[in-house]
């Protein structure tokens, strides 16, 4: 009979160290799949590693944002219960491999990401598009996703004490964002484009060294929830608005408890509690985190952990038998 190593914790944020191990193990499990052209194998490896580790933590957890619906195992499906205890009761938004295509092609900026919050406080965002806007702590309270990007840039520049032409606006390189790029260029400001994983772009607005003032664009709603948790911990700001594109998606919104699918969503609408945290570990190199590396028979991971009290980058060395 196996013995479960139950880890005793009392509140949500005290679980951050345990979830650091969850993200690290998912990233390490994905490492052998980098550049192998197998998205399914990559995802299954990360998912299995995450599930196994989360089931060792003394908590009562529910997946509110995962990789699929119930009965779509081996994914971490919406509604799946995890943990080896009854308290604390938490909601989890997770993507074991954020950027599976990036991993399969050996490209940059893939992550293992997890957001955790007190039970009942995370938006149950359907798997559809969301308009997003994010800024760091100095510009908190200065954005309005219902206004034009031009107006938002002027507002952010004013509070940052910059000329609007000095701003850097990050967005995903997609044709749907051409009208946003035009507004940035018209003000003489700078665009920084990325291919995938807008969670990194949102967090970048709150990390001074990355020199990003605004993240804007339309991307996945589940990733929007994860980014909102990170920015809540970092003191930044985030707004979103769901973009249902069919009657089926409208019905799905209402089924998940969203009465007005077109409403503006503030950060407090998306994550209602400050008792939350965010963890990410790099799989391949990106602007925020280094990818998993092998050195002298050890694997090196680079992670980022943010709680309401602090944020930190963590480099760890793992013995190869770890995988």
In this predicted model, what pLDDT tens digit does every residue of 118-139 receive, in sequence order?
999 999 988 899 999 999 999 9
Query: How far is the C-alpha of 182 from the C-alpha of 95, rounded, in Å?
Result: 32
Res. 70: pLDDT tops 50: no
**Does 106 appear as a known binding residue?**
no
Q: How does residue 320 score in pLDDT terms, banded at 50, 70 and 90?
A: confident
**Does 77 appear as a known binding residue?**
no
**Does 47 appear as a known binding residue?**
no
pLDDT at 5: 46
**Does 138 appear as a known binding residue?**
no
pLDDT at 74: 58
Half-sphere exposure for 172 (CA within 13 Å, toward CB): 18
In this predicted model, what pLDDT tens digit does every residue of 1-26 receive, in sequence order?
334 444 445 689 999 999 999 999 99
Name the percent of the chain lying above pLDDT 70.
94
pLDDT at 8: 43
Beta strands (DSSP E) in 30-69 are 60-65
**Does 197 appear as a known binding residue?**
yes
Residue with tokens 């193990």: 25
Across the range 257-279, mean pLDDT stands at 94
Res. 112: pLDDT tops 80: yes
pTM of the model: 0.93
**Does 87 appear as a known binding residue?**
no
Across the range 158-162, mean pLDDT stands at 98
3-state secondary structure of 258: coil
The angle at the Cα of 64, spanning 248 to 265, to the nearest 5 degrees, equals: 70
Res. 73: pLDDT tops 70: no
**Does 220 appear as a known binding residue?**
yes
**Does 95 appear as a known binding residue?**
yes
CB atoms within 10 A of CB 200: 30
Across the range 168-193, mean pLDDT stands at 98
| pLDDT, mean over the chain | 92
Min mean pLDDT across 52-61, 176-185, 255-264 is at 255-264
pLDDT at 69: 52
pLDDT at 71: 42
Do the beta carbons of residue 196 and residue 101 sit within 8 Å? yes
Do the beta carbons of residue 143 and residue 216 sit within 8 Å? no
Res. 206: pLDDT tops 90: yes
**Does 201 appear as a known binding residue?**
no
Query: How far is the C-alpha of 185 from the C-alpha of 183, rounded, in Å?
Result: 6
3-state secondary structure of 253: helix
Question: Residues with Cβ < 8 Å from 174, sequence gap 6 or more?
Answer: 217, 218
Q: Identify the residue with better confidence: 172 or 68.
A: 172
Q: How does residue 238 score in pLDDT terms, banded at 50, 70 and 90?
A: very high
Strand partners, 240: 132, 265
Q: How does residue 47 score in pLDDT terms, banded at 50, 70 and 90?
A: very high
pLDDT at 4: 43
Do the beta carbons of residue 225 and residue 276 sit within 8 Å? no
Do the beta carbons of residue 108 and residue 102 sit within 8 Å? yes
In this predicted model, what pLDDT tens digit does every residue of 184-196 receive, in sequence order?
999 999 999 999 9
**Does 174 appear as a known binding residue?**
yes
**Does 69 appear as a known binding residue?**
no
Domains of the chain: 12-120+276-319 (3.30.540.10), 129-270 (3.40.190.90)
Min mean pLDDT across 65-69, 119-123, 142-146 is at 65-69
**Does 307 appear as a known binding residue?**
no
Q: How does residue 241 score in pLDDT terms, banded at 50, 70 and 90?
A: very high
pLDDT at 78: 87
Q: Identify the residue with better confidence: 118 or 252.
A: 118
């Amino acid at each position: 009979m196996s013995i479960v190593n139950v880890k005793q914790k009392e509140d949500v944020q005290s679980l951050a160290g345990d979830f650091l191990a969850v993200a690290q193990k998912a990233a390490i499990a994905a490492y052998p799949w980098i550049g192998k052209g197998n998205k399914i194998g990559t995802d299954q490896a990360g998912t299995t590693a995450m599930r196994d580790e989360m089931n060792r933590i003394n908590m009562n957890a529910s997946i509110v944002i995962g990789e699929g619906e119930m009965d779509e195992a081996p994914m971490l499906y919406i509604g799946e219960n995890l943990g080896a205890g009854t308290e604390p009761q938490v909601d989890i938004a997770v993507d074991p491999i954020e950027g599976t295509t990036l991993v399969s092609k050996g490209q940059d900026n893939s992550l293992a990401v997890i957001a955790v919050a007190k039970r009942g406080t995370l938006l149950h965002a359907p798997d559809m598009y969301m308009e997003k806007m994010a800024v760091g702590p100095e510009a908190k309270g200065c954005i309005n996703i219902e206004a034009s990007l031009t107006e938002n840039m002027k507002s952010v520049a004013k509070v940052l004490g910059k000329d609007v032409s000095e701003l850097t606006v990050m967005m995903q390189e997609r044709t749907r964002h051409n009208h946003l790029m035009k507004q940035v260029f018209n003000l003489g400001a700078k665009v920084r484009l990325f291919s995938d994983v807008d969670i990194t772009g949102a967090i970048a607005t709150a990390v001074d060294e990355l020199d990003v003032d605004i993240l804007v664009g339309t991307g996945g709603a589940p990733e929007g929830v994860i980014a909102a948790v990170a920015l809540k911990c970092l003191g930044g700001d985030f707004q979103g608005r769901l973009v249902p594109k069919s009657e089926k998606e409208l019905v799905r919104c209402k089924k998940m408890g969203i009465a007005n699918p077109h409403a503006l969503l503030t950060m407090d609408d998306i994550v209602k509690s400050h008792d939350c945290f965010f963890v990410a570990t790099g799989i391949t190199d990106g602007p925020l985190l280094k990818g998993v590396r092998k050195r002298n028979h050890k694997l090196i991971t680079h992670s980022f952990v943010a709680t309401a009290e602090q944020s930190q980058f963590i480099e760890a060395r793992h013995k190869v038998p770890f995988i």
